[in-house]
Amino acid sequence: MTEAIQKSLRESPLARWTAMVVVSLSMFGAYYFNYVGSSIKPILEIALGWTSKDVGTYTGSYGWFNVFFLMLIFSGLILDKLGIRVTGLGATAMMAIGTALNYWAMTAMPAHMLAQHVTLPLVGQLPMQVFMSCLGFAIFGIGSEATGITLSKAIVKWFKGKELALAMGLQMSIARLGTALALAISLPLAIKFTYSTPILLAFVLMLLGLVAFITYVIMDIKLDKSEANIEIEEEEPFRVKDILSIVNNKAFWYIAILCVLFYGAVFPFLFFAPDFIINKYHVAPKLAGYIPALLPAGTIILTPLFGYIYDRKGKGATIMIIGAVMLLLVHVFLAVPFLNNWIFAALMIITLGIAFSLVPSAMWPSVPKIIPEKKLGTAYAVIFYIQNIGLVVIPTLLGIVLTMSNPSVSPNKALIKSSIEQSFHKVLADHQITYSKKDLQIAIDKSTGNVVDSIVENTFYEPAPEKNINKAVLKQTLIQNNLDAAGHITLANGSRTSLLALGTAFARASYPTIKEEKLNITYNYENDILIFVLLGVLSVIFGFLLKAEDKKKGYGLELPNMEKKAKAIEAD
């Protein structure tokens, strides 16, 4: 990078803020898609037979290529070598390709592939559909992370020495609108239509993001032209060996580790948050997503506000410590078993949103104070790489722990679905009625979902020990009750209304039997939340280490970002 001595296009507030908005839109869809798969976890369990382990592995697959094949590091090197425009265009295109593969895997994979399995190190055996979905999400992850570091450098290019923290805060706010949208509408969309609907919407948003970045490229070209005849002060070009000066910087490592700990206690929590809210607080699935959506919705306003404060008042390291302490307290309270009212959960999510606004608003603008601008692409890439290690390990671990802590939940849901499926086939065969495979599958999934949702939302029984339940007898009882209920329904061949009425009858007939048997279909998230508590403790520790290192080396993390204000404070 070079720094203009005379006025350039970025000196125009309208130009630089427009550039910020346009380039930020390329990440809106990415943040939406990032949370779609985990948000519809209850539907994936029913419609596709995925387990919590499958969902955790899928969520963690986002960073497969970035971590194990160092794609994030290469993205940073490419960014520093080829620049913002080429890197960003390639990255946004890759996000669209990954989303398309994910949609195909979940909706159109051939039957012979669905029966296959893949064995992965540390993870074990995965159904082929889960693996291919993971592959698409991993390709998307390459593009998403590359776009993220590209946007960070683009914002620095337009806002260095100006409202840098505010601009980064607003950029994150626009992106997090996508997170809020995913958490709020994905599960309701899946319930009303089908599990593939929110994923299709994600693909459309990916294409819009590609268009947005093309628009930014046009603006960036104009910026370079505005500086073409301006006397500039040349900097040394980036060299690969410069990465050594980055990784040898202790303050850089404190920020990087704080990043992976803090984000590891927020992003993976949000991945599982709708399901957590449903199971612990007994909130209806169509409403559960609105509670975790309060977190990104709140950060939309608060992150720029805290960035504005950091720009003018400083105290970056202190801001990060306060946010880490709040994060820890939230997860401690969420871990308390008897605090299970949804209003309390909403208050904790709002508090977590404040913490999530504090730390990033100070963290990302602090990096340019520690690392020279010509090395920023690689510096952000290394930080994002370390963050991706957490985003691979933590969700995968959460899924494994959740499955091991609740070994009977997924099989019990499968038992309910199997009994309803057999009931449908029996009744339709007896009446010589046929439906399309798609319509019948949707009816089976909705009926199963209605049973499971009703039990989780409305019952508070202590599950019976698995050894006390005869699963074979229970299944036959459920089927017989369903067949008896079907005798009161007039069926019309090909009528979707009849099909849905039959599904409703099955759900109502199954509910009392499952409740009476006290079948366990509710997840206990206590062990998963304790993992977040540990991450919170470590975040606080590294926040204090960073502040101590800044005091020792004088990086200026406690000083304002605005050049004039910072110089005035230093003069005092």
Closest CA to 146 of 73, 212, 97, 218: 73
Stretch 136-158: mean pLDDT? 90
What share of the chain in percent tops pLDDT 70?
Answer: 93
Alpha-carbon distance 314 to 262, whole Å?
Answer: 21
pLDDT at residue number 5: 46
Closest CA to 512 of 455, 470, 562, 468: 455
Task: Determine the residue type at 172.
Answer: M
Alpha helices in 371-470 (DSSP H): 376-405, 409-430, 437-458
pLDDT at residue number 118: 92
pLDDT at residue number 7: 66
Phi, psi of 460 (to 5 degrees): -130, 30
pLDDT at residue number 239: 58
Split at pLDDT 50, 70, 90, the class of 566 is very low
Alpha-carbon distance 321 to 546, whole Å?
Answer: 9
pLDDT in tens, 242-271: 677 787 889 999 999 999 999 999 999 999
**Cα–Cα separations (whole angstroms), residue 70 to 30, 64, 146, 218, 299:** 20, 9, 12, 30, 30
Stretch 361-388: mean pLDDT? 81
pLDDT in tens, 431-441: 888 888 888 99
CB 47 within 8 A of CB 228: no
Split at pLDDT 50, 70, 90, the class of 99 is very high
Alpha-carbon distance 483 to 479, whole Å?
Answer: 6
Split at pLDDT 50, 70, 90, the class of 377 is low
pLDDT at residue number 568: 45
For the chain, give the mean pLDDT. 87
Look at 568 and 105; give whichever has higher pLDDT: 105
All CATH 1.20.1250.20 domain ranges of the chain, comma separated, are 8-226+246-406+524-571
Split at pLDDT 50, 70, 90, the class of 240 is low
8-226+246-406+524-571 has CATH 1.20.1250.20 classification: yes
Instruction: Determine how many CB atoms are found less than 10 A away from the CB of residue 55.
Output: 26
Q: Has residue 325 got a pLDDT over 90? A: yes
Stretch 135-164: mean pLDDT? 88
Q: Has residue 168 got a pLDDT over 70? A: yes
Of the listed ranges 8-17, 135-144, 340-349, the one predicted with least confidence: 8-17
pLDDT at residue number 241: 65
Stretch 331-344: mean pLDDT? 94
